[in-house]
Amino acid sequence: MTHDVTLAEAEAETVTEMRVEHDDDPRRAKRFLFLRNGKALTGIGILLFFGILALVGPWIAPYDPNQVSADLLQPPTAAHWLGTDHTGRDILSQIIVGTRGVLVVGLIAGVSATILGVVVGVTAGFVGGAGDETLSALSNVFLVIPQLPLIIIIAGQLPTAGGVTVALVIGVTGWAWGARVLRAQTLSLRKRDFVEAARANGERTWRLVLAEVLPNLTAIIAAGFVGTVTFAVLSQVTLAFIGITPVSDWNWGTILFWAQNNLALQRGAWWWFVPAGLCIALLGMALTLVNFGIDEFVNPRLRSTGMNARLLRRRRIRPRIGFTPVLRTGPSPDRPTSEERS
Amino acid sequence: MTASTLHVPTAGPGAGDPVLEIENLSVDYGYTDDATHVLRDVSLTLHRGEVLGLAGESGCGKSTLAYAAMRLLPPPGLITSGSVHFTDRDGTRTDVLRQSDAELRASRWQDMSVVFQGAMNSLNPVFRIGRQIADGILAHRPRTTRKEALEQAAGLLEMVGINADRARDYPHQLSGGMRQRVMIAMALALDPQVLIMDEPTTALDVVMQRQIVEEIADLRERLGFSVVFITHDVSLLIEIADRIAIMYAGDVVEDARAQDVYRRPRHPYSSALLHSFPPLRGERRELTGIPGAPPDMQRMPPGCPFAPRCAHTTDVCREVRPALGPTALADRGEQEAARRVACHLHDAAAGRGGGSLPAGLAR
Amino acid sequence: MRFAVRRTIFYLITAWAAVTINFLIPRLMPGDPVTALMGRMQGRIDSNAEQSIRVLFGLDTESSVWQQYVDYWGLLLRGDLGLSFTFFPTPVADIVQQALPWTVGLVGIATIIAFTLGTLVGTAIGWRRGTWADSLLPITTFFSAVPYFWLGLIAITVFSVTLGWFPSSGSYDRGLVPTWSWEFVGSVIYYGFLPALTVVLSSVAGWILGMRNMMVTVSSEDYVTVAHAKGLPERAVTVGYAARNAILPQVSSFALSLGFVVGGTLIMEMVFSYQGIGYTLFQAVNTQDYPLMQGCFLVITLAVLGANIIADFVYAALDPRTRQEG
């Protein structure tokens, strides 16, 4: 289950870096706070589910996804839970078997793009001068060129465009987004008083980057990783949908390709294209939820909304910036002031 | 503590009367039952014309106390009990914690203003500094025109020693010391009665620190506002403050005149804290530092929070949390009687003339 | 002014790099699909046109790569993108020129609507935390995770196939003559509504989330607390202090997400058979029309570059720090 391991590692890094930022946060002792976060847990749960599916998919799928049968274009039945396509192939099996392709591509692309983005972005933001000019020019070139058309052009001209190839193309073209955001943030951090102070104290550059700059970028790095994985999944599914990647490689986009080309919309065969799209959305949501979880872990101020809105109402708390709520549960028991008695 | 026992330097109508009274203030961090109690029943009084220093290690709650008093604590800060009374020039007394948002908004900046730590982040990077000073004036003085407000802003900048032309600069065009001066000018725009300064000199170099501190002292002489000066640098406080409150783990542990705290600390923590800073002037003394670290606010021990690090811990210290009360030496005179300390050593030695106090705490 | 000059030079360099990448892609591809097609086209292409295709696709093996590069630029500057194989012998430049306004209209308007709407909603949600508005977040998250084209499929199923409210494909009533008449413009709006709605629905979520997160981040900045401490009206704090600063990263991310958004909306054109660049690219890919593919790609790239320049200048107008640094 390679993808979950890597994700967990990325999160572990996030967790350790976070401590530095909120040194005076009394909650830092709660080591597993991240895992207590409902959103993150939900996200990780969904990812785990798809991860297991990717791993054991071919063995648990009820049918061979390529096996044609006499049940042509059947709506969901007991035999075919998600119905069949125009040649009687089982759609549930296609989705289960297709999970692996989606996750592998997302992960390879996400990891490679994140590494490239961090290296280029932080370096550019920190070194400044000619190095910065060169690196940001490079990321701008990659940013300006719309990725999806670029991938389409490359994939369209390649003799074969399999999953790993597509993943690498996405990774190599997709790091610039993260790099530019990270560069901008590094640049502004570099000017902040605390970094200036550390620099004035004669801190070494690499230590400055590791201890003062990177911890403050964790949220952006994490968001970038999640974003790239999401983008990679969407791109790959899109390429499959428009028929650029081999249609015999099952992934969720391939199912949609067959559905679109066999007029599933016009025939009202919703079971053909709705489940695959929902799976993509579910995976994307899981990634975003993990991102929210990381966010709330990073910034204790975000956490307040992680709690039950009903509880807030019951305790009559209205969390607002600039107007700290005051708890009023009847007169204060210890020492009521004169106004309170009146 | 009555006004007569205090020696407040600034004379004038009502000088020495309380202007800000914080009583039994408790603050949680988090809205659930497992919230961290960052302040527990803290009481503190600021008198008119006085500079009150608030000192302690980082994370002791000194900033939290000041921000809670202004209700500026960001989520998930929650004030769970207590009162904060502000007394206006005409004697009207209002509980800041009971004001509606609209009342609070109207009174802010005129009654109490604040200078934050790290002036770079306190200024809106996209507005010119003149405009940022002026918008505070315009919000409270609806009759003022925009032009007048900008002129006032320029005047305020002159007052803190910045050329009025600079009003058209953006924050990033100013040096750190200038930004801090801008913040002070901004805080004084509406002639507030209380000025809260949260580590206003921390990010500055020593020369600039000194200039700013002198600037504040000078302005206070002229304008007569009261100051709550928050810092971890006790030696700086001794220079500027009339009175010092030492905080530890969300509690005030000692509250006395600045010189008294400096020369004759009564709480073991105050004594230790003083020995961990070199004095700016005066006698030299040995620097020792304090062993251990402040307690985890999430898992507070039941007794005195300082007990694990204290050299004089007894059994009662580990079980009962001491309350702020008179010192064991209260019979030594008026000044001593006005002091407050939260320590079992004093409770035990009370009535015995402080005979059982360690020598360092009974000078 | 120094800033403007610097940025202009910078974008010229970027444009040069984009063209160069476009030059390199077919030359780096393994195999030689173009030769095969050229073989099929033999005799139908006059020698001039054949020469330009050879230059565009690096079949000109006799001359050095440098010479090819110089020739390539020569062709581009003359607006010669070669001839389309599918629509032979129409020049690629003509096809692209015809398709571009449709894309700029549909994608441009829809993107601006989505950005404005998303920023406004994001500001509101980010500011009022812990209220009912937070419950919009899961819905937003869902929409940001859905592939654009799938939303298009659903929209067609619901609004065209089932309800029959909107046409499922095309960009105007084929019975009408394209003129500036009310009837024709009305037809364009009617046909463009569903694709535009889908583009807005699928991209607005990203702007909402981005702005919301920036609002939350900016809200905890000291200057927002200072604005509250000053007792400024709620509106002044929200707009002048929080949103005014939160929009900076939003604008720069508008520039950077443009490539992404355009990519997604091009697919939308494919789903709706809308006669813009995206649909043209789709047709070119399916018929292996390499000159047309390359031409579409180059034009899309340059258009996104142009939009980037605009976003950059807006950013500079909004952030005084950029202006000073130049």
ipTM over 0.90 threshold: no
Q: How confident is the model at residue C116 (pLDDT cuts 50, 70, 90)?
A: very high
Which member of B106, B110, B125 has the closest CB to residue C245? B125
DSSP symbol at C83: B
pLDDT > 70? residue B286: no
DSSP state for residue B298 in the 8-state scheme: G
**Which of C129, C224, C226 should be substituted to probe chain B, the one whose Cβ sees the most B Cβ atoms within 10 Å?**
C226
Q: Do B126 and C226 touch (CB under 8 A)?
A: no
Q: Using the predicted structure, report yes or no on whether residue A138 has a pLDDT greater than 60.
A: yes
- Residue B287 — φ and ψ, nearest 5°? -90, 130
- Would you state the pLDDT for residue C117? 93
Task: Write the DSSP symbol of residue C178.
Answer: -
> Does position C318 have pLDDT exceeding 90, yes or no?
no
Output the pLDDT for position A11: 32
Q: What is the DSSP string of C44-65?
A: TS-HHHHHHHHHHHT--TTS-H
CATH superfamily of domain region A32-68+79-307: MetI-like (1.10.3720.10)
pLDDT at A339 over 50: no
CA C270 → CA A94, B350, C110, C170, distances in Å?
Answer: 24, 88, 16, 10
Name the E strands within chain A. none
User: Taking Cα atoms as reference points, which of B286, B295, B282 lies closest to residue B360?
Assistant: B286
pLDDT at B154: 92
* % of chain B surpassing 90 pLDDT: 9
pLDDT confidence of C283, banded at 50, 70, 90?
confident
**Residue among A67, A79, A21 at smallest CA distance from A211:** A21
As a whole number of angstroms, the distance between CA B276 and CA A99 comes to 62
Which of A15-19, A104-108, B31-35 has the largest mean confidence? A104-108
The whole-number pLDDT of residue B28 equals 87
- Would you tell me how many other CB atoms lie within 10 Å of the CB of residue A207? 10
Q: Which residues between 175 and 194 in chain B have a beta carbon less than 8 angstroms from any beta carbon of chain A?
A: 176
**Residue A156: its pLDDT value, please?**
74
Q: How many CB pairs under 8 A join A and C?
A: 186
Give the pLDDT band of residue A27 (cuts 50, 70, 90): very low
> CA of B113: which chain C residue's CA is closest?
C229
Distances (CA, A) of C131 to A309, A318, B35: 7, 8, 21
Pick B77 or A300 by higher pLDDT: B77
* Contact present, C76 and C19 (Cβ < 8 Å): yes
Q: Do A153 and C21 touch (CB under 8 A)?
A: no
Higher pLDDT residue, A202 or B95?
A: B95
Residue B105 sits at the chain C interface (C-beta within 8 Å): yes
Question: What domains can be seen in chain B, in order of their start residue?
Answer: 16-241 (3.40.50.300), 247-361 (3.40.50.300)
Q: C60: closest CA among C30, C89, C96, C23?
A: C23
Q: Band of the pLDDT at B337, cuts 50, 70, 90? A: confident
Does C259 contact A237 at a Cβ distance shorter than 8 Å? no
Span A319-334, mean pLDDT? 66
Q: Which of C168, C216, C304 comes nearest A302 by C-beta?
A: C216
Cis preceding-peptide flag for B76 (omega within 30 of 0)? yes
Assign A260 to helix, strand or coil. Answer: helix
Query: How many other CB atoms are there within 10 angstroms of residue C49's CB atom?
Result: 18
Residue A27 near chain B (CB below 8 Å): yes
Contact criterion met (CB below 8 Å) for B181 and B161: yes
Given a cut of 50, is residue B11 above it in pLDDT?
no
Q: Does A31 touch chain B (CB under 8 A)?
A: no
Chain B residue with the nearest C-alpha to that of C246: B126
Who among B73, B82, B296 is closest to A26 (CB)? B296
Rounded distance between C-alpha atoms, residue A167 and residue A185, angstroms: 27
- For residue C304, the chain A residues in CB contact (below 8 A) are 144-146
Q: Per the CB < 8 Å rule, is B297 touching A303? A: no
Confidence of residue B153 (pLDDT cuts 50, 70, 90): very high
Task: Give me the residue from C147, C300, C301 closest to A277, CB to CB.
Answer: C147
Q: Over the stretch C22-40, which tens digit does the pLDDT of each residue have?
A: 788 777 766 565 666 666 6
Average pLDDT taken over every residue of chain A = 73
**C325 pLDDT above the threshold of 50:** no
* Predicted local distance difference test score (pLDDT) of residue B8: 41
Nearest C-alpha neighbor of A220 from the set A173, A190, A191, A179: A179
Comparing alpha-carbon positions, the chain B residue that sits nearest to A330 is: B81
Q: Which residues of C touch A184 (CB under 8 A)?
A: 249, 252
Q: What DSSP character marks residue B78?
A: E
Contacts of B149 in chain C (CB under 8 A): none
**Percent of chain C topping pLDDT 90:** 2
Name the token pair of A187.
């640049």
Q: What is the CATH number of domain C93-319?
A: 1.10.3720.10
* DSSP bridge partners of B54: B230, B245
How close B264 gets to chain A, by Cα (Å)?
30
How high is the mean pLDDT of chain B? Answer: 82
Question: DSSP labels for B163-204?
Answer: -GGGGGS-GGGS-HHHHHHHHHHHHTTT--SEEEEESTTTTS
pLDDT in the model for residue C326:
37
Closest by CA to A232, choosing from A290, A166, A294, is A166
> Using CA atoms, how far apart are residues C136 and C131, in angstroms rounded to an integer?
10
Q: Residue A8 half-sphere exposure, CB side, CA atoms within 13 Å?
A: 13
Residue B72, chain C, CB below 8 Å: the answer is yes
Q: Which chains neighbour C (Cβ–Cβ under 8 Å, 3 or more pairs)?
A: A, B
Strands B93-95 and B77-87: antiparallel
Q: Which of helix, strand or coil describes residue B252?
A: strand
Most trustworthy range by pLDDT among A3-7, A23-27, A231-235, B125-129: B125-129
Task: Write down the domain spans for chain A.
Answer: 32-68+79-307
Å from B63 to nearest chain A CA? Answer: 12
Query: Out of A134-148, A302-316, B151-165, B318-332, which region has the weakest mean confidence (pLDDT)?
Result: A302-316
Query: Could you tell me which residues are beta bridge partners of residue B46?
Result: B20
What is the structure's pLDDT at B9? Answer: 44
Query: By CA distance, what is B30's nearest residue in A?
Result: A304
Percent of chain B surpassing pLDDT 70: 90
Question: CA A276 to CA B60: how far, in whole Å?
Answer: 54
- pLDDT band per the 50, 70, 90 thresholds, residue C309: confident
**Chain segment A78-91, per-residue pLDDT in tens:** 777 788 887 778 88
Q: Domain coordinates of chain C in residue numbers? A: 2-77, 93-319
For C135-187, the pLDDT digits (tens) are 777 787 778 778 778 888 888 888 887 887 888 777 777 777 777 777 777 77
How much is the pLDDT for C80?
A: 78
C141/A289 Cβ within 8 A: yes
Q: Give the per-residue pLDDT at A175.
A: 85
pLDDT tens-digit profile of B232-250? 888 788 888 889 999 888 8
pTM confidence score: 0.76
Contact list in B for residue A24 (CB cut-off 8 A) is 58-59
- CA distances C109 to C78, C101, C102, Å, are 30, 12, 11
Q: What is the pLDDT of residue A338?
A: 37
Q: Å from C308 to nearest chain B CA? A: 22
Q: Which of B81, B104, B297 sits opposite A327 (nearest CB)?
A: B81
Per CB-CB distance under 8 Å, the chain B contacts of A195 are none
Tell me which chain A residue has its CA closest to the CA of residue C162. Answer: A268
Cα A152 from chain centroid?
Answer: 23
User: Are B110 and C221 a contacting pair at CB < 8 A?
Assistant: no
Closest residue, chain C, to B31 (C-alpha):
C130
Q: Which residues of A touch C257 (CB under 8 A)?
A: 177
Nearest to B40 by CA among B325, B347, B321: B321
- Comparing B179-188, B291-300, B313-322, the range with the smallest average pLDDT is B291-300
What is the rounded CA–CA span in Å between residue B346 and residue B255?
14
Distance set, CA B336 to CA A264, B2, B269, B329 (Å): 90, 13, 18, 7
Pairing between strand B18-29 and B77-87?
antiparallel
- Do B41 and B65 meet the contact criterion of CB atoms below 8 Å apart? no
CA B156 to chain centre: 24
**Range name among A12-16, C41-45, C72-76, C273-277 with the lowest pLDDT average:** A12-16
Pairing relation of β-strands B340-341 and B251-257?
Answer: antiparallel
